[in-house]
Chains A and B, each alone.
Chain A
Amino acid sequence: DAKTTQPNSMESNEEEPVHLPCNHSTISGTDYIHWYRQLPSQGPEYVIHGLTSNVNNRMASLAIAEDRKSSTLILHRATLRDAAVYYCIHPGTYKYIFGTGTRLKVLA
């Protein structure tokens, strides 16, 4: 099964960049790398996804290692609203396996 490894928790100061790492050593060549986040008392929401090259959108940037065994979600300026659990997944064999994610704490 497609499993990822993320740190349990991270902290960041408000207005500073945050780099959230993820290892996905079992990724196959056609699996996209997805990032989702879950705010308190809400369902998960999509953040960004990509296949090989780096990706940017209005929420974040995704940096993918050349061998695709790891990726980093970059929040360019963390705000208090970014405090959430962040999940990195790659949906191999039609299963989106979420794991326990990284709990991001943003300090004012």
Chain B
Amino acid sequence: EAQVTQNPRYLITVTGKKLTVTCSQNMNHEYMSWYRQDPGLGLRQIYYSMNVEVTDKGDVPEGYKVSRKEKRNFPLILESPSPNQTSLYFCASSRTVNEKLFFGSGTQLSVL
């Protein structure tokens, strides 16, 4: 089944403790991206990757890192999480940038 898989589904952590949210797609997609969703603010893009060689910042990249060492995986890294990064995170992928996006099920992160 074609899908985007995010893990974990829920995560509670403390301020400053490094964490990684994984994202994997099995559709051989070139384009992958990360979003955060906060009440009243909609979906905001954190980072995107056009292909294995290219990643770039979205609208809210501060405090986040990403890695695209292989086509199928696009982990989101929070080196030193802070409470303002408490949010619902979604990973998404598409074959190319103008084609439909497939979303993961989301990761609810709480930073205490």
Chain A interfacial positions (CB closer than 8 Å to B) = 1, 30-32, 34, 36, 42-46, 49, 87, 91, 94-101
Q: Give the complex CA separation of A40 and B28 in angstroms.
A: 28
Q: Give the complex CA separation of A46 and B98 in angstroms.
A: 12
Check: B1 CB closer than 8 A to any chain A CB: no
State whether B105 touches A46 (Cβ < 8 A): no
A55 CB, min distance to chain B CBs, angstroms: 12
State whether B98 touches A97 (Cβ < 8 A): no
Show 17 residue pairs from A and B whose CB-CB distance is below 8 angstroms, ordered by the A residue.
A1-B59, A32-B99, A34-B100, A42-B106, A43-B105, A46-B100, A46-B101, A94-B31, A94-B48, A94-B97, A95-B58, A95-B59, A96-B45, A96-B92, A97-B45, A98-B42, A98-B45
Closest residue on chain B to residue A51 by CB atoms: B98
A27 CB, min distance to chain B CBs, angstroms: 12
Q: Which residues of A contact B42 (CB under 8 A)?
A: 87, 98-101
Residues B35-90 near A (CB distance < 8 A): 35, 40-45, 48, 50, 56, 58-59, 90
Chain B, interface size category, equals 20 to 34
Which of A45, A96, A101: most chain B Cβ within 10 A?
A: A96
In addition to A44-B43, A45-B103, A98-B44, 9 A-B residue pairs with Cβ atoms within 8 Å of each other are: A43-B106, A44-B92, A46-B102, A87-B42, A94-B31, A94-B48, A95-B48, A97-B59, A101-B42
Contact among B35, B50, B101 with A94 in the assembled complex (CB-CB below 8 Å): B50
